[in-house]
Amino acid sequence: MEEECLARPTTPLEERKDAGLILAKRSSYFHYYHVSPPEFWTNLTQNDGVELISVAKVEEGKPMPVGLETIGQQTAEDYTKLVGDVKAMVGIGIPVISPSVYAAWCQATPVVIPIFHDEDDSSPWHPYSGYSQHGPALSVGEPYAYSYHSKNYTQLVEAVHKAMSTPIERFIPDDMRLSHTMKALEAYMNRDLVKMMELKVKANGGKIPALKAGLRERCIELGRCMQELPPGRVPIGPPSFLLY
């Protein structure tokens, strides 16, 4: 994505459509219990004058919010162009995570992300625990990502207006670059698996730890493993594993 996106020019804010792009490919997303109620989107377009573009597929029994039309699903090329032509990408809560956010940032389009809980937790893992949509984006913060509580309409309006009126530069997080990926892959491929196993066995009193139940049963079901071995058995393997 980095190579493809960097080949595209960014569009200045004043030359973009005065609209936000809804991040949702299905109309059913508007009906999940934890997302903003449909009338939020109706009010945003009809009462607060925010033009919203949707590419959602309309599903039977799951209508679009009143006043919010969809232009239908787009080709990858057309969707990517659309992302760079709007002033903001607006998340509604589903999907939990999406590469579209990174495509938006790479084209200098900020995103708006909902949160679902009120509690304030300073843990670095908090944004990844169901607290919000797209925790990685939320953790970057403004001016690249703005947040609103999914049940607070005032916050939604403020976040959308702020995102659509604040220009940003093209942004690619360091850990989303190819150079980072290659470095992480190299470290993964060069792991000392023998040493890692030795530490596992040592921590378990010199015995190979039993597989977790779910992994064990599934492995047997697929015919890839022997029937269950007695827990705590003495390992049969190289002398370096026999640490007891």
Same domain, 70 and 152: yes
Residue 203 and residue 119 in one domain = no
Q: Give bridge partners of residue 53 from the DSSP assignment.
A: 21
Q: Let me know whether 39 and 125 are in one domain.
A: yes
Kindly state whether residue 236 falls inside one of the protein's structural domains. Answer: yes
Q: Which residues contact 116 (CB under 8 A, 6 or more apart)?
A: 34, 93, 130, 131, 132, 149, 150
Q: Which domain holds residue 219?
A: 191-241
Please check whether residues 160 and 218 belong to one and the same domain: no
Radius of gyration, alpha carbons of the chain: 24
**Claim to verify: residue 74 and residue 152 sit in the same structural domain:** yes
Determine contact, residues 20/90, Cβ cutoff 8 Å: yes
Helix runs in the chain, H state only = 2-6, 38-46, 76-85, 100-106, 135-140, 153-165, 178-189, 193-203, 213-221
Please give the pLDDT value at position 240: 45
Residue ending a domain, choose from 144, 173, 202:
173
pTM: 0.75
Average pLDDT of each block of 10 consecutive residues along the chain (244 residues)?
81 94 94 92 89 94 92 92 95 90 94 85 71 86 94 95 95 87 93 93 89 69 67 55 39
| pLDDT given at position 230 | 63
